[in-house]
Structure 1
Amino acid sequence: MAYLRSGLFHIAFYTSFIVQMLVFTPIYFFLPRKTAYFVPKNWARSNLWIAKTFLGLTFEIEGLEKLPKSGFILSPKHQSFWDTFALIPSLDDPVYILKRELLWIPLFGWYAAKQRMIPINRAAKSRAIPEMLARAREEMDAGRQLIIYPEGTRKAPGAPPDYKIGIARLYSDLKVPVVPVVMHPGLFWPRHGFLRFGGHFKVRFLDPIEPGLSTDAFFRQLVETTERESDRLLLETVRANPHVPLSRVTAQKVAELELAERHAQSAA
C-alpha cells in the first residue's frame, strides 16, 4: 500500500508541477516580482494538498505569533524537499539563501532568480560570505524575510548537527532577530528514496534570538536551543506516528533520547 500511495503521490506531484509551469510561466515573468510570488505560493499550497490527499500527510504550525513584525532571519532545520516550499504560504515575502547550482536548473532557476533568491557558492567557503551579506542586506532593507538553513544541506532526523558559521555572520551584520524553527518532515518525506508516508507532525517556531549578542554567544545559543527543541520534538513526533519506519541514524538517536529520558525520570 505504501508503494501504491507513494506512486500516486509522485504522479500527482509532478503532474501538478508541469501543468502549473505551463499555465503560469507565460505570465509569471511579466508581472512585478512580489505580485508574481502568488505562483510559487499557489504551487506550495497545491503540494501540501496533494500530500494530504494521496498520503494522508498533515501538519500544524506552532508559534507563528512569535515572528517579529519587522525584518528577521528564519533558521529552520533542513531534512526534506518538503521544507523548501511548505513555509512559503505562511510568510509575506520570503527570500532564501540557496546553493548557487540551483539557479542553473532550467525553469526552477529562472523562477528563483525572478524572486531574487540569494545564491551562495559553497565551494568558495568564507570567500562567498561578503557577497552573501551584501545581497542579504539589500533584500532585508526591502522588508523581506530571510530564510537560511544553518546546516546548509538536508540531514536525516536526529543526525549529528553541523551548523555553518554563515548564519552567525548574518546575525552580526544585519542586526535583526533570528527565529529558529524545528520540524521533522524527513520522517515522512525522506531526503532519498521513493516512499512517502502519511502522518501528522508539527512545525514549531521558537522564541526569536534578539540582536546584540556576540557572534560566539549567538552561535552557541542557536545550536543549543535548536538541537534541544529538535530532540524534544523528534520524540514527540515519533511517538505520535509509530507506523513510520525510522532510518538507522534516526532510530539510534531516538533510542539515545529515550534512554536519557528514563535516566532523568529515575533521578527525579
Structure 2
Amino acid sequence: MFIWIRTLVYWVGLAFLTTFCFLLILLGCIAPHRVRHSFAQAWVKGLLWLLKHVCGLSYKVVGAENIPDTPSIICSKHQSGWETLALQAIFPPQVFVAKKELLWIPFFGWGLALLDTIAIDRSAKTKASQQIVEQGRDRIAKGYWIAVFPEGTRTPPGVAGRYQQGAARMAKAFDVPMVPVALNAGEFWPKNAFRKFPGEITVVIGKPILPQDKSSAAMTREAEEWIEARQLEIGGVGPFAHPDQRKRRPGDSQPA
C-alpha cells in the first residue's frame, strides 16, 4: 500500500512539473535553444528528485570517466521510461531520436519539438534513415549529443532485442564516438507500470567505440556484446528481475 501512495505522489508531482516546465518551453519558443533545454533540465532534475525522495528510487553511475569531452552518440539499453530522464542528467545536453507521433502529444510533444528532437517516420525506413542523418548532423553541429536506443523499443529485464545500426551509422557519418550504456532500470520501473519501486538502479558507461576503420555493423555488434555482458553483471537485483537472473537480497519481498 505504501508503494501505491508514494507512486501516486510522484505522478501528481510529474503532472505539475510537466505542465509548468513545458509551458515555459513553449513560452520560450523564441529564446535560444540552450535556454529551452535548461527548462527541460529543470524538469528532469525535479522528477529524479521525486523518484529518490518520494519513491526511494535512486541510481549510481559506473564508468562516468568514459564520457568523452566532445559531442557523441549515446547507444543505450532501453527497459523503461526512467532512462529517458536519467540520461539527460548523466550526459551533456542531448537530443533523442523519437517517432514523430510523440510530437503530437499536447504539451509534452510540443515541448519535444522545441527541444530539437530528431523526429522520424518509422513506417518508412529509407526516409527515416535520411531524417536521422540530416537532422543528426544539424544537432551535432549545435553541440548536442544524440541518444539512441538501438533496440528500438523497451525490452524487459533479461531480454535482448534486435540491435539496429542507426547509432553506429550516425557515429560514422559524423565521425564522432559512440558510447555504450547498460542499465537495469526495468527491474524497478517496469514497462507501462503505474508503480515505481524503491531500490538503486545501476548505469554502466563503457569506453567509446570509435568509428575509424570499423563498419557500422561491426560497431553495433561490439556495442551489443558489451551492453549485454554488462546486463548479466548488473541484472537480477530488482523486484522485476528476470527469473533466470534473480539475485534477490536477503529480506526482499515480491511486489504486491
- Distance in 2, matches of 1:25 and 1:133, equals 26
Structure 2 gap ranges (5+): 249-256
- Distance in 1, matches of 2:156 and 2:205, equals 20
CA contact (8 A) 2:99 2:119 kept: yes
Partner of 1:245: 239
Partner of 1:73: 73
CA gap of 1:70–1:13, structure 2 versus 1, over 3 A, is: same
Secondary structure at the aligned position of 2:54 is classed as: helix
Partner of 2:150: 150
**AA partner of residue 114 (structure 1):** L
- Distance in 1, matches of 2:13 and 2:111, equals 21
Residue 25 of structure 1: how far off its partner (Å): 4.6
- Distance in 1, matches of 2:139 and 2:179, equals 17
Equivalent positions of 1:7-86 (< 5 A) are 7-22=8-23, 24-25=24-25, 27-86=27-86
Partner of 2:91: 91
CA contact (8 A) 1:78 1:151 kept: yes
Tell me the alpha carbon deviations over residues 29-52 of structure 1, each in whole angstroms, 9 at most, x when there is no partner: 232111221111000000011111
**AA partner of residue 84 (structure 1):** T
- Distance in 1, matches of 2:223 and 2:156, equals 19
Tell me the alpha carbon deviations over residues 172-199 of structure 1, each in whole angstroms, 9 at most, x when there is no partner: 3222110001111111111122221001
Residue 26 of structure 1: how far off its partner (Å): 6.1
CA gap of 1:43–1:228, structure 2 versus 1, over 3 A, is: same
- Distance in 2, matches of 1:53 and 1:13, equals 14
Partner of 2:175: 175
Residue 165 of structure 1: how far off its partner (Å): 2.4
- Distance in 1, matches of 2:35 and 2:20, equals 20
Residue 90 of structure 1: how far off its partner (Å): 3.3
CA contact (8 A) 2:21 2:40 kept: no
CA contact (8 A) 2:26 2:111 kept: no
TM-score under structure 2 length normalisation: 0.88
Partner of 2:186: 186
- Distance in 1, matches of 2:171 and 2:205, equals 17
Tell me the alpha carbon deviations over residues 143-193 of structure 1, each in whole angstroms, 9 at most, x when there is no partner: 211111111111111113221122232233222110001111111111122
The structure where helix makes up a greater share of residues is 1
CA contact (8 A) 1:183 1:204 kept: yes
**AA partner of residue 158 (structure 1):** G
Equivalent positions of 1:173-252 (< 5 A) are 173-212=173-212, 213-235=214-236, 238=237, 244-246=238-240, 250-252=242-244
Secondary structure at the aligned position of 1:58 is classed as: strand
- How many residue pairs align between the two structures? 246
Worse-superposed segment, 213-222 or 47-56: 213-222
Worse-superposed segment, 72-81 or 59-68: 59-68
CA gap of 1:38–1:77, structure 2 versus 1, over 3 A, is: same
- Distance in 2, matches of 1:86 and 1:193, equals 18
- Distance in 2, matches of 1:30 and 1:216, equals 40
**AA partner of residue 141 (structure 2):** D
CA contact (8 A) 1:28 1:39 kept: no
Structure 1 gap ranges (5+): 239-243, 259-268
**AA partner of residue 164 (structure 1):** Q
- Distance in 2, matches of 1:195 and 1:46, equals 18
Partner of 1:137: 137
**AA partner of residue 251 (structure 1):** P
**AA partner of residue 246 (structure 1):** F
CA contact (8 A) 1:189 1:196 kept: yes
Tell me the alpha carbon deviations over residues 224-243 of structure 1, each in whole angstroms, 9 at most, x when there is no partner: 111111221114xx1xxxxx
Worse-superposed segment, 91-100 or 42-51: 91-100
